[in-house]
Chains A and B, each alone.
Chain A
Amino acid sequence: MANFYNGASASSVFLALLVIGAELIPPLKSTLAAIFNHHWVGKLILVLGAFILASLVWKNETVFGIGSDRAAWHSVLLSMAAMLLFYILHYLA
């Protein structure tokens, strides 16, 4: 049985890391663009692929000692907050 909580945890954290990493490390952004024709397409395919893969493969009921439901909820909200905060700071810098 799949665990979509873990897929949500993995993919949301991965998305935040990709977003911030691609802005701070230009070669990462250009590599994504070179492989997928556009960096956003690369992030979309990699993150949704990670969501499906992690959901099917990673079936643990806990993540670092906390329930996978709580881990997913906090991962998604914190990842969204991290992306917004990063773009605000990046614009102001």
Chain B
Amino acid sequence: MLSFLIIPRDTALYLHIIGGLLLIVIPAIILLQIRSKPSWLKVAAAATAAVSWITLLPSAILYLVFYPATKTLIKAGPTPWAHSVVMETKEHWGILLPVIATLAAWLIFREKYEESRRWYILLIVLAVLMGVMGRIVSTGGS
């Protein structure tokens, strides 16, 4: 059933990382420019929301197709918590990225700029944490 998801692991990983980086960089630019309300702000907000949804696909491929082998290694190794706590939390926190990005974009489109700020800050913090957690998991499997 998952055969249609098979793409090279490195391709999925790069897309996953690029998506995660965009979810840090674009919201950071939005936050820096939000007070001057440039005309492209809504485009940037829509792009952030789109990236958050699209990035689910390479993330799902990595998790469903390639992660099970890594999981076996981690659970048999000296740091099983890297899967049982860090990865389990990461895989579920990640589901909230499109929720937060879409909510923040909705606020920008309603021109509620001040209200959107804390959601973009949360999005950046969450994306950074996901990167750190991913690094912990990959270290645990190596």
Q: Could you tell me which A residues sit within 8 Å of B by CB distance? A: 2, 4-5, 7-8, 11-12, 15, 19, 37-38, 40-41, 43-44, 47-48, 51, 69, 72-73, 76-77, 79-80, 83-84, 87-88, 90-91
Contact = CB atoms under 8 A, between A and B. Distances in A.
Contacts of A76: 96, 99-100, 122
Given A15-B95, A80-B126, 6 more contacts: A2-B106, A4-B107, A7-B103, A44-B56, A77-B122, A87-B85
Given A12-B96, A80-B96, A40 B103 contact: no
B115 A69 contact: yes
B140 to A, nearest CB: 13
A39 to B, nearest CB: 10
Nearest to B84: A91
Q: Which of B60, B63, B102 has the most CB of A within 10 A?
A: B102
Contact of B99 (A19, A48, A83, A91): A48
A88 B63 contact: no
A83 B64 contact: no
A4 B106 contact: yes
Interface stretch (B9-17, B18-26, B37-45, B86-94): B86-94
Contact of B2 (A2, A8, A37, A43): A37
Nearest to A88: B85
Interface residues of B, number: 28
B83 to A, nearest CB: 9
Nearest to A77: B122
Nearest to A18: B92
Contacts of A41: 60, 64
B141 interface: no
Contact of B92 (A43, A48, A72, A77): A43
A47 B88 contact: no
A23 B79 CA distance: 21
B1 interface: yes
Contact of A40 (B2, B64, B85, B102): B64
A4 B109 CA distance: 12
B1 A37 contact: yes
